[in-house]
Structure 1
Amino acid sequence: MTDRTINRHRLFYVGNLAIFMIGLGFAVRANIAPNLQTEIYDKLSPTNSVAMIGEALGITFTGFALTLLFGSALVELVGMKRMLLCSAVGYIAGALGLMVATTITPGPLAESLVLSSLLLTGLGWGAVEAATNPMVAALYPEEKAHRMNILHAWWPAGIVIGGLLGVLINTAGMPWQVNMFTLLIPALILMWLVASSAFPETERVARGISYPDMLMELIKRPLFWVFWACMFLTAASELAPGQWVNITLSNTVGMQGILLLVYVSALMFVMRHFAGSVVARISSMGLMVVSCVAASIGLYLLSLANSPAMAFGAATIWGIGVCYLWPTMLAITAERFPRGGALAMGLMGFAGGMSIQFLLPAMGAIFDAAKAEAAGGVTKLPALSDEEMLEVLRYASVESFQVVAVLPLLLLPVFGIIWFCDHRQ
Structure 2
Amino acid sequence: MHQIQTSKLFWASCLALLVTSLSFGIRAGMMDQLGIDFQLNATQLGTITATAFWGFPLAIVIGGFVVDIIGMKRLLVMAFLFHLTGIVLTIFAQGYWTLFFSTLLIGIANGTVEAACNPLVAALYPQEKTTRLNYFHLWFPGGVVIGTLLVTLFVYLGIGWQFQVGMMLIPTVIYGYIFSKLDFPVTERVSSGYSTTDMYKAVGSPLFLFLFLCMFMTAITELFTGQWISLLLKNVTDNAILLLTITTGIMVIGRAFAKPIVQKLAPQGVLLFSAIFAAAGLYMLGSFTGNAVFFAAIIFGIGVCYFWPTMIGFVAENIPQSGALGLNLIGGAGMFAVSIYTMIMGSYYDGLIIKHLPIGSNLDLYSSATEGTAEALAYTTAKNLAGPEVLQITLILPILLIFAFGGLYLYMKKKKEVVPIGSVVN
TM-score (norm 1): 0.92
* Cα offset, 1:287, TM superposition: 1.1
Q: 1:413 aligns with which of 398, 403, 421?
A: 403
Residue in structure 2 matched with residue 30 of structure 1 by the alignment: 28
Is contact 1:92-1:183 (8 Å) kept? no
Residue in structure 1 matched with residue 225 of structure 2 by the alignment: 241
Residue in structure 1 matched with residue 317 of structure 2 by the alignment: 335
Structure 1 stretches of at least 4 aligned residues deviating more than 6 Å after TM superposition: none
Output the CA distance in 2 between the equivalents of 1:36 and 1:348: 31
Output the CA distance in 1 between the equivalents of 2:400 and 2:306: 17
Question: Are positions 1:222 and 2:206 aligned together?
Answer: yes
Is contact 1:33-1:53 (8 Å) kept? yes
Residue in structure 1 matched with residue 390 of structure 2 by the alignment: 400
Alignment of 1:275-354 (within 5 A): 275-307=258-290, 309-354=291-336
Output the CA distance in 2 between the equivalents of 1:61 and 1:302: 24
Output the CA distance in 2 between the equivalents of 1:187 and 1:50: 30
Is contact 1:363-1:401 (8 Å) kept? no
- Aligned AA (2:351): A
Residue in structure 1 matched with residue 159 of structure 2 by the alignment: 174
Is contact 1:52-1:361 (8 Å) kept? no
* Cα offset, 1:244, TM superposition: 0.7
Moved more, 235-244 or 170-179: 170-179
Q: 2:379 aligns with which of 389, 395, 402?
A: 389
SS of equivalent residue, structure 1 residue 59: helix
Residue in structure 1 matched with residue 420 of structure 2 by the alignment: none
SS of equivalent residue, structure 1 residue 254: coil
- Aligned AA (2:152): V
- Aligned AA (1:19): L
Residues matched between the structures, number: 407
Is contact 1:288-1:415 (8 Å) kept? yes
Moved more, 283-292 or 128-137: 283-292
* Cα offset, 1:300, TM superposition: 1.7
Output the CA distance in 1 between the equivalents of 2:74 and 2:52: 21
- Aligned AA (2:168): L
Output the CA distance in 2 between the equivalents of 1:41 and 1:75: 41
Residue in structure 1 matched with residue 198 of structure 2 by the alignment: 213
Residue in structure 1 matched with residue 91 of structure 2 by the alignment: 99
Residue in structure 2 matched with residue 107 of structure 1 by the alignment: none
Is contact 2:2-2:183 (8 Å) kept? no
* Cα offset, 1:329, TM superposition: 0.1
* Cα offset, 1:39, TM superposition: 2.2
TM-score (norm 2): 0.92
Residue in structure 2 matched with residue 158 of structure 1 by the alignment: 143
Moved more, 226-235 or 51-60: 51-60
SS of equivalent residue, structure 2 residue 158: coil
Deviations 1:155-193 (A, max 9, x none): 111111111000001111111222111111111111111
Is contact 1:305-1:311 (8 Å) kept? yes
* Cα offset, 1:385, TM superposition: 4.5
Output the CA distance in 2 between the equivalents of 1:21 and 1:215: 31
* Cα offset, 1:123, TM superposition: 0.3
Question: Are positions 1:18 and 2:8 aligned together?
Answer: no
* Cα offset, 1:202, TM superposition: 0.2
Is contact 2:202-2:208 (8 Å) kept? no
Coordinate RMSD, CA, aligned: 1.5
* Cα offset, 1:386, TM superposition: 4.3
Residue in structure 2 matched with residue 57 of structure 1 by the alignment: 49
Output the CA distance in 2 between the equivalents of 1:176 and 1:346: 32
Is contact 1:83-1:127 (8 Å) kept? yes
- Aligned AA (1:397): G
SS of equivalent residue, structure 2 residue 167: helix
* Cα offset, 1:134, TM superposition: 0.3
Q: 2:77 aligns with which of 69, 75, 85?
A: 85
Is contact 1:296-1:405 (8 Å) kept? yes
Is contact 1:252-1:305 (8 Å) kept? no
Is contact 1:298-1:321 (8 Å) kept? yes
* Cα offset, 1:87, TM superposition: 1.5
* Cα offset, 1:41, TM superposition: 4.2
Is contact 1:153-1:272 (8 Å) kept? yes
Residue in structure 1 matched with residue 424 of structure 2 by the alignment: none
Residue in structure 1 matched with residue 61 of structure 2 by the alignment: 69
Output the CA distance in 2 between the equivalents of 1:178 and 1:311: 31
Is contact 1:32-1:176 (8 Å) kept? yes
Moved more, 413-422 or 143-152: 413-422
* Cα offset, 1:342, TM superposition: 0.2
Output the CA distance in 1 between the equivalents of 2:38 and 2:237: 25
* Cα offset, 1:384, TM superposition: 3.0
Moved more, 203-212 or 290-299: 203-212
Output the CA distance in 1 between the equivalents of 2:243 and 2:106: 24
SS of equivalent residue, structure 1 residue 411: helix
- Aligned AA (2:294): F
Is contact 1:51-1:362 (8 Å) kept? no
* Cα offset, 1:116, TM superposition: 0.6
